[in-house]
Structure 1
Amino acid sequence: MNIDHLKIFINLAETLNFSLTAKTLNLSQSAVSQAIKSIENELGFSLFKRTKRQVRLTKSGTLFYQRVLTILSSFDKAVCDSRDVYQREKSTLTIGTTGTSFEAHTLPLIIKDYRKQHPMIKFYLEYFSHNQLKQHLLNEECDLIFTTKDDLDDTPQIEFSQLASGYFCALVPNENPLSQQKKLKFSDFNHQNLILLNDNWCPPEQLKFQRLLQTYNTNLKATLVDNVSVANTMVEAGLGITVMPDFISFSSHQFFNTIPIDYPIQLIYGVGILSHPTSKATVDFTKWLATCKAFSY
Structure 2
Amino acid sequence: SYVIGKLIQEYRKVRPEVKIFLENYDHRTMVARLKQGFCDVILTRPESIDSGVTLTYDKLLEGRFYAVCSKSYGYIGNSPVTLKDLSKERLIFLDNSWCLPKQNSLQNALSRELASLDYAVANNMADYTQMISAGLGIGICADFVVDPSDDQLELFPLEKEVTDEIGLVTLKDRKSPAADFIAWVKERGLPATHPVAK
TM-score, normalisation: structure 1: 0.60
Q: Secondary structure at the match of 2:126?
A: helix
Q: Secondary structure at the match of 2:47?
A: helix
Hey, what does 2:196 align to over in structure 1? Answer: none
Report if aligned partners of 1:164, 1:296 keep a CA contact under 8 Å in 2. no
* 1:130-279 matched pairs, under 5 angstroms: 130-152=27-49, 154=51, 156-178=53-75, 181-250=78-147, 253-279=150-176
Larger radius of gyration: 1
Distance in structure 2 (CA, Å) of the matches to 1:183 and 1:254: 20
Q: Which amino acid aligns with 1:111?
A: I
CA RMSD of aligned residues (A): 2.1
1:128 paired residue among 4, 8, 25: 25
Q: Secondary structure at the match of 1:115?
A: helix
Distance in structure 2 (CA, Å) of the matches to 1:111 and 1:179: 39
1:283 paired residue among 176, 179, 187: 179
1:228 CA displacement: 2.3
Distance in structure 1 (CA, Å) of the matches to 2:91 and 2:59: 29
Hey, what does 1:30 align to over in structure 2? Answer: none
Distance in structure 2 (CA, Å) of the matches to 1:165 and 1:264: 13
Q: Which amino acid aligns with 1:125?
A: L
Show CA shifts across 1:216-264 (max 9, x none): 2112112111222211211222211111111011175444311121233
Question: Would you say how many aligned residue pairs link Structure 1 and Structure 2?
Answer: 193
Report if aligned partners of 1:171, 1:242 keep a CA contact under 8 Å in 2. yes
After alignment, is 218-227 or 132-141 more displaced?
Answer: 218-227
After alignment, is 256-265 or 233-242 more displaced?
Answer: 256-265
Distance in structure 1 (CA, Å) of the matches to 2:12 and 2:4: 12
1:132 CA displacement: 0.9
Shift in CA distance, 262/150, structure 1 to aligned 2, threshold 3 Å: farther
Q: Which amino acid aligns with 2:87?
A: N
Show CA shifts across 1:195-215 (max 9, x none): 111111122111111111111
Report if aligned partners of 2:68, 2:132 keep a CA contact under 8 Å in 1. yes
Shift in CA distance, 295/140, structure 1 to aligned 2, threshold 3 Å: farther
Unaligned runs of 5+ in 2: 194-198
Shift in CA distance, 265/156, structure 1 to aligned 2, threshold 3 Å: farther
Q: Secondary structure at the match of 2:4?
A: helix
Q: Which one has a larger percent helix, Structure 1 or Structure 2?
A: 1
Percent of aligned pairs with the same amino acid: 24
Q: Which amino acid aligns with 2:182?
A: T
Distance in structure 2 (CA, Å) of the matches to 1:117 and 1:256: 33
Q: Secondary structure at the match of 2:81?
A: coil
Distance in structure 2 (CA, Å) of the matches to 1:142 and 1:113: 20
Report if aligned partners of 1:164, 1:295 keep a CA contact under 8 Å in 2. no
Shift in CA distance, 291/252, structure 1 to aligned 2, threshold 3 Å: closer
* 1:110-121 matched pairs, under 5 angstroms: 110-121=7-18
